Structures are given as C-alpha cells and as structure tokens.
Chain A
Amino acid sequence: MPILPKKKVGIVACSGEEMPEGTVSRVAALKVLEELRPNDTVTICLPLFLAGGEGDRAFARFYPTVAIDGCEKRCAARATEMYSGKPAASIVVTDVVSRNSLGPIRGSRTLNEAGMQAADLVAQEVARLVDRLLGRTERAVKEAIVEEPAAEVPEDEEAAISFCSCGSGIPVQKVLVNGRVVTLIALPAIFEQFYQSGKRPGDGTTRELLEVTRIYNPIPPEEEAAYAEALAREYEKYCRKQAL
C-alpha cells in the first residue's frame, strides 16, 4: 500500500436548510472543523459527495467518518454508507436535544439559544469521537492544536491538481485514458512507493501498478488495457524525472 497522508476524520453534516436541526448539524460541524479539532478533521461536502465527487468519496474510503444528521432520516449517514462505507460514528441532533432536555430548537437561518446550545453539545460529542477514532489522549489533542498549523486547501491551480479538493491531502493525478482526462486517486504516492522499492518500467510493473491503482479507483474491465497503457506511460515519465 502506498503511504498516504496523516490520518484524519471526515465530518459529514446533513446541513438540511429547511429545518433548524439541519442548521445545528452544520454549525456543529463547522465548530469542530474550525475551532475544536482543526488539525484532525476535514469536511466532506455532502452535495459534492452525492454528485460523485471522487475526492470526497475516496477520503471516506480511506479514513473514518463521523456523520452528523439533523433528524432520523439520517441523510448524511445513509449517503456515506451508500457511496463509500459505513460511518465510524453517527450522531443525530434530535437525539442530543432530547437527551439533554433542551428547549425547542428554532430558526433555520439563525438558531435560537437552545439551537446554539445543541450545536455546542453536538460539536463536543463529535470532538470526543474524533479523539477516540484517532486514539488521542486529552493532552495529545492540546499539543496538536498548539503545534500544528491549520490545514488549508491549496489555492493555486497546480497544487489543486496534486491533491484532492476534499482537503484530505490525498494526492491525485490526472492522466489521459482513451483520449479523456481521468483523475486517479493516490497515484503519485503509488508511483513514489514503486520507485523507492526499485520497480522500474516494464510489463510486470505495469500489471502491479494496475492492481494497486484499482484499490483506490474504479477501473472498468473493458478499459483495463487503456488504463494499463496510461499507467505505463505515466510511470515511465515519472521514473525519467526521478533520474534527472
């Protein structure tokens, strides 16, 4: 397996705009992402996830996710399970509200006091889950928050090509397959690992590359030959560049 970036937890919030509890899920998710665990979490954009965003789906295949849903319909948890894998943990705002006997939540656009309280409680619960999933102690969390700079999605185009738009830091590479541009998840890391283990371009290496690439990317059987050709070509280029 290629060595991928530091393990983080993906936060998927339902963000349902039509109900206050959806807003609680969104506010809580942002609180975790921006204030409580900025270095340990990334947001998984639910609409992009639903629309087929490979970066976000790939992240959820690699790393644990926490789904925050406003109601029992559990859109975020269901979508994560449908497109990537079962979330490592799942929280429903209405459960937190009733467990803590909070007053009625009002205001889809601007939450009332009970809503803000619910968002705080949900965020704290998510932060605890993140720590548990990452095997963090309380002290390690404090140190990490102080020492690590906040992760930022690269702004320039070149960097955006090299990493998933989900902000996970998973490297991606665009290659030409059968005349169309395909984004392959983890390919730069796969190339690096192959090169470092002394594998040089050749039929055997191409077959291996195809198998490892397939773990992270869907490769239709009828296009295997075209993918193999593209991988062989790109790996040869990569090796030439390393030799310079």
Chain B
Amino acid sequence: MRANRRVVIVPCSGIGKTFGTVSREAAYTVVEDLRPGTAELVALSLLVLGDEEARAAVAGHPTITIDGCRLACATKMVQESGFPVARSFTVLDAFRKHRDLKPEGISSLNPEGQKLAQVLAEEVAEAVDELINCYTSIGGSHADSA
C-alpha cells in the first residue's frame, strides 16, 4: 500500500510587515506553482489553537516553516505545539543572500519582493524534494509518483 507522502508548509502569517507578505507569497508559490500535490499549506493560527485537521496534517508529514523575520513565530509555534520542524527558512536570510531584491509593500509586493518570494520558494521546493526523496529512500512512497 502506498502512503500519501506530502510536505506541510507553514508560513508566518504576519500581515503588518513586508517580510510576512514575502513569506506568504513564497508559500503560495510552492504549493500552487512549484510543488502542487506534494506540498500543502497549514495556517499557523489553526495549528496553534488546536484545530484537529491542522494538527493531523503536521503530525503526519514533514513540516517546513517560512518565517518573515528573526522572531521566527512559525518555527517556534510549530515546535511549541509539539511537532518537529524538518526545515526552516526565513525571508530575512533570503534577503541577505539577495541584497538586490529589497522587498517593499504589504498589500502588494514590489517586483523585487515578488522575485525574492520566487527565489525563496525555489529553495523551499528543493527542500520539499529532499524530504520526499528521503522518505522514499527509507521505504515510503509518494502518491503522486504512482
């Protein structure tokens, strides 16, 4: 029997700052464009407030967090909810690596911000592949590859 192997993405959900918007945009890019069917989104607030479906998703699959800033709310809250974080990313780190992509705007990102979200999403997508491959190599399988 094949297991439905997926990776959960938890972005920070911050709405007041540009970096939160980049984290969300990167998460959407991964689950909708780069790895649809392999990566799924879980909202941080649902998880923290004990929603059973959200908890089951995180409990059953490796989790990647995407934080906007160094406060790392998503990573902290996933861990404090009792779940491991397989990989964590921050927009701030991505920006440090790509200083030319200075994000601006909260409701809508400037082109640099959109590009930064794309670059970050590509890094996250690679991590999704690694986690899926790792699972497959230890005996699991991925439903979408069936």
Please give, as numbers and ranges, the residues of chain B lying within 8 Å of A75 by CB-CB distance. 43, 45-46, 49, 51
Chain A nearest CB: distance from B81 CB in Å?
10
Give the residues from 1 to 41 in chain A that come closer than 8 angstroms, CB to CB, to chain B.
13-19, 22, 26-27, 29-31, 33-34
Whether A17 contacts B41 in the complex (CB less than 8 A), given A51-B76, A109-B28, comes out as yes
Whether A17 contacts B27 in the complex (CB less than 8 A), given A48-B73, A50-B45, A75-B49, comes out as yes
Q: Is B123 part of the contact surface with A, judged by Cβ < 8 Å?
A: no
Instruction: Give the A-B contact count at a CB cut-off of 8 A.
Output: 88
Cα A13 to Cα B109 with chains together (Å): 19
Whether A14 contacts B45 in the complex (CB less than 8 A), given A30-B106, A47-B73, A51-B76, comes out as yes
B46's partner among A16, A30, A33, A167 (CB-CB below 8 A) is A16
Residue of A nearest to B40 (CB): A18
> Could you tell me if A45 and B15 are in contact, using CB atoms closer than 8 angstroms?
yes
> Could you tell me if B28 and A50 are in contact, using CB atoms closer than 8 angstroms?
no
B71's partner among A51, A76, A109 (CB-CB below 8 A) is A51
> Could you tell me if A16 and B43 are in contact, using CB atoms closer than 8 angstroms?
yes
Q: Is B24 part of the contact surface with A, judged by Cβ < 8 Å?
A: yes
Counting contact residues on chain A (CB < 8 A from B), the size range is 20 to 34
> Could you tell me if A15 and B49 are in contact, using CB atoms closer than 8 angstroms?
no
Cα A109 to Cα B80 with chains together (Å): 27
Give the residues from 100 to 151 in chain A that come closer than 8 angstroms, CB to CB, to chain B.
108-109
Contact with A along B72-99 (1 / 0, CB 8 A): 0110110010000000000000000000
Q: Is A99 part of the contact surface with B, judged by Cβ < 8 Å?
A: no
Cα A46 to Cα B43 with chains together (Å): 11
Whether A47 contacts B12 in the complex (CB less than 8 A), given A18-B41, A34-B106, A109-B32, comes out as yes
Counting contact residues on chain B (CB < 8 A from A), the size range is 20 to 34
Q: Is A78 part of the contact surface with B, judged by Cβ < 8 Å?
A: yes
Please give, as numbers and ranges, the residues of chain B lying within 8 Å of A33 by CB-CB distance. 16
Q: Is A206 part of the contact surface with B, judged by Cβ < 8 Å?
A: no
Q: Is B13 part of the contact surface with A, judged by Cβ < 8 Å?
A: yes
A73's partner among B27, B42, B46 (CB-CB below 8 A) is B46
Cα A167 to Cα B32 with chains together (Å): 33
> Could you tell me if B49 and A17 are in contact, using CB atoms closer than 8 angstroms?
no
> Could you tell me if B48 and A50 are in contact, using CB atoms closer than 8 angstroms?
yes
Please give, as numbers and ranges, the residues of chain B lying within 8 Å of A73 by CB-CB distance. 46, 49, 51
Chain A nearest CB: distance from B133 CB in Å?
25
Chain B nearest CB: distance from A235 CB in Å?
30
Cα A75 to Cα B48 with chains together (Å): 9
Contact with B along A52-70 (1 / 0, CB 8 A): 0100000000000000000
Please give, as numbers and ranges, the residues of chain A lying within 8 Å of B20 by CB-CB distance. 45
> Could you tell me if B42 and A26 are in contact, using CB atoms closer than 8 angstroms?
no
> Could you tell me if B43 and A18 are in contact, using CB atoms closer than 8 angstroms?
yes
Q: Is B62 part of the contact surface with A, judged by Cβ < 8 Å?
A: no
Chain A nearest CB: distance from B137 CB in Å?
29
Q: Is A164 part of the contact surface with B, judged by Cβ < 8 Å?
A: no
A sample of 29 inter-chain contacts (CB < 8 A) reads A13-B15, A14-B43, A15-B45, A16-B45, A16-B46, A17-B13, A18-B43, A26-B15, A29-B15, A30-B106, A43-B16, A45-B14, A45-B15, A46-B15, A47-B45, A47-B74, A47-B77, A48-B14, A48-B71, A50-B48, A51-B80, A73-B51, A75-B45, A76-B45, A79-B45, A79-B48, A79-B49, A108-B41, A167-B16
Ranked 4 nearest A-B pairs via Cβ: A47-B73, A43-B16, A75-B45, A16-B43
